[in-house]
Each structure stands twice: as structure tokens, then as C-alpha cells.
Structure 1
């Protein structure tokens, strides 16, 4: 993926790091928890990334592009993302009916941290998997998938 709306506006994730998110760092009322909760589902960040990379898409195209996601799970994720204000649903009065999904401003702004998480995963996935394997051999592994 290339540039995002946040980058185009000259905003950098680093500019936001000094903000007071309220309630102390990751306290019960900390606003940063909203960001973690919004993308806590395994498919949500994938959908945001794909829509950011490809632009508005129909559900069938999303299923094809993502792979490994069922129509039911995609529908649930799109509804959750729409509920959280990250995705906009546009229905067209056509026969047959057509619906496209696209990112909102808030969804576009998430592309920067999603890319950062992708870079982190590229660098540390092997270390995480090795640690999980060590724990599993000791019998204290936790399957969280």
C-alpha cells in the first residue's frame, strides 16, 4: 500500500504520541483502549488494509482478495467496522442490488498503525512462534487463535 489520507494531510503517527489520552496510560478509562478494541477481531485489520490498498469493494471481491474468510464472517466484520465508523456502506439502487464498502476518514487513519503492526510482524513473527513452541513443549502454551 502506498500513501494514506493521514500522510497526505501531513499528519504523522508520531505527532499524536504526546497526546494525553486520559486516565493514565492504558487505565480503565484510557482512550487508547478504544483503538485496541476496534481492531481486536482477527479480520478487521485485514479488511481495513485491503480497502485501503484497493479502494471501495463489493463483498464478493473482498472475499476473493482476502481468502480464507467466509461470507458470514466477512458480513459480521463489515457490520462491526461500520458500527465503529471505520467503513462506509454504499448501496446502489440497481438490479441486481449492489453494495460497496470503503474506508472512512477514521479507517484511513488506521492504515499507518496497521502498517506498523505489519512491519513488526515481519520482523518478530519467527521469534513469537519460537517462543510459543518452547512454551508448548514445556506444557504451558496458550492457544489464543
Structure 2
């Protein structure tokens, strides 16, 4: 079966389907427009998205009267940074920006993929953080940049 569009998202669905098959993806697979995947029931699917939409946790790839196939994102190993001041936020944002490290922001948190060097830097700068397993809604994306 080839999937060319996302039908909706289970989080906004009026009712839950009777039977759900899941496709487990890492967050960095959410941006891939073409990929071959397998459901937790062993069904092979091809995903070829045409509309430029990125996949998200809970996206419905297929649905009929009895069955739905839904994306489930695998938790990432991340550092959740919780600066206590604008100064701390500026310091760590500058440091991570120099390393071209992609980050995501949720409420008062800055989230980056786990890296032991970043963990050491946060400890050295005395910036509060926690290492967590977290389901990310979007992939960590590098922004194109060069030092020409």
C-alpha cells in the first residue's frame, strides 16, 4: 500500500477507531517525504507525501470501518534546558548556536538532542537542565548556514 496523504490526526478525531495499527518512527523520520515502513502488525507501507507536509505523532495514514494505521513517534533522548534568567538563556543560546545545534522550544524550555559535551557545558555554566526521554512532535532540523 502506498500512502500519499495524511487523513487527519488521532488527537483531533471525534472518536477512536476500533482497531489501531501503529507505525513507529524516530523524530528525524518525520521529515522524510518518501520512506518504506512497517506497522506493528507486520504490514508493509510506502509513504510518498506529495503536499510537503511533515508527519506528526498521531497522524492517520489509513482508515476504514475496522482499522486505522497511525504514526507513533519514538521518544528521543534529549536535554531539557530550563534557564532561570534571560542572561542564562542568552549564554546557552549563543553557545549552542555556535555549534549549529538544532533546538526546539516548548513553553519555558529549550530542548536539544542529548550530547555529553552539551551536558558538560550546562553543568559548567550552572544552567538547570534534565536529561529525559521525550516524544518530540517535530524533527530536529539543521538550518542551512555557512561561514563563507
Length-normalised TM-score, structure 2: 0.23
Which structure is higher in strand share?
2
Higher relative contact order (CA 8 A, sep 6+): 2
Higher helix share: 1
